Amino acid sequence: MTMNSLKTSPFLKACRREKTSFTPVWFMRQAGRYMKEYRAIRDKVSFLDLCKNPDLCAEVAVTAQEKIGADAAILFSDLLLILEPFGFGLEYTSGDGPVITGKIESRADVDRLPEMEPDGSLQYVSDAVRKTRASLKPAIPLIGFSGLPFTLAAYILEGKSSRIFSKAKHFMTFQPAAWHSLMEKISRAVIRYVNGQIKAGADAIQLFDSWVGCLSSEEYREYVLPHSRAVISGIQKGVPVIHFGTGTGSFLKTFREAGGDVISVDHRIALDQAWEQAGYDVAIQGNLDPLALCGPAAQLRSRVKKILDQAGGRPGHIFNLGHGIVPQTPVDNVIRSIDLVHELSAR
């Protein structure tokens, strides 16, 4: 009965491009700093300690889903946790965000990286999946996630967030053999990681290529596509995969070639144009500008309606943001936007 209610949830039906009575909606970073319950926990524990505490991860994820009324919950975790088992240092600073220590400068450095076994080193993530799944209402799907190889490699090579990713692109271009070896090693780890989340109870997987928009279509095809495709093809069959990237509007057809049941797009491209480029034989997720949630209610309604109009009622649309909720977002606006999606898309 529980499995059937999950299978027929609007979110999972949309992943399969089946008809739903309304457009399902969830938001990236729906559990985060904009919510007082999250801030209360963060006042007591560091971000990294929170990520490594399965009980708190479950509490944060479930509280957020229930408070805003989203049609799915997403695991509370972080993209970069997978880097620690490779031997990299990971620290989160208040001003600069994540800082990764440990350099990769050559093929020899890549060869020294261990094969990552998440069953041991990332057991706390699997535990968080189990606890979150057990705490959610039976009909609410849980989304697990990971970064894709390019975004993870870019973080490793830059050592932090970047705007232009000069170190990563230099390594990619001038040491292609070492680059592909690094991407293959990360790919194997990501496949094990997400399949472990599925085994623990994740109902869908979102794969983030948050930084891939810094590449040209040709660079993506040569240096990234084979590895993203390998990851997606290695994920347990029957579990929907959402393939997310930012800045992909100029090469969505190529991006889609990597695979995924759902292509998630940012707010820099109109949803109808994105769907046409990606192809109507795939579901699509997106794509309200996160800052729209900080604006007046009347404008929010019109912007939500515009995206729903662009989707045209076609089966397979999951409403989301172009990226994550920003910290200054009023909680009431998040709740209102979800109510609007349900109201305006009812059919």
Catalytic amino acids? 29, 33, 42, 78, 155
Taking the C-alpha atoms of residue 174 and residue 156, their distance in angstroms, rounded to an integer, is 17
Instruction: Please answer whether residues 319 and 288 qualify as being in contact, where contact means their C-beta atoms are separated by less than 8 angstroms.
Output: yes
Q: Which residues does residue 74 pair with via DSSP β-bridges, in sequence order?
A: 143
Taking the C-alpha atoms of residue 247 and residue 249, their distance in angstroms, rounded to an integer, is 6
HEC secondary structure over the chain: CHHHHHHCCHHHHHHCCCCCCCCCECCCCCCCCCCHHHHHHHCCCCHHHHHCCHHHHHHHHHHHHHHHCCCCEECCCCHHHHHHHHCCEEEEECCCEEEEECCCCCHHHHHHCCCCCHHHHCHHHHHHHHHHHHHCCCCCCEEEEEECHHHHHHHHHHCECCCCCHHHHHHHHHCHHHHHHHHHHHHHHHHHHHHHHHHHCCCEEEEEECCHHHCCHHHHHHHCHHHHHHHHHCCCCCCCEEEEECCCHHHHHHHHHCCCCEEECCCCCCHHHHHHHHCCCCEEECCECHHHHHCCHHHHHHHHHHHHHHHCCCCCEEECECCCCCCCCCHHHHHHHHHHHHHHHCC
27 φ, ψ (degrees, to nearest 5): -130, 135
Say which residue the tokens 């208040």 belong to: 94
Taking the C-alpha atoms of residue 317 and residue 70, their distance in angstroms, rounded to an integer, is 15
**Peptide linkage before 333 cis (omega within 30 of 0):** no
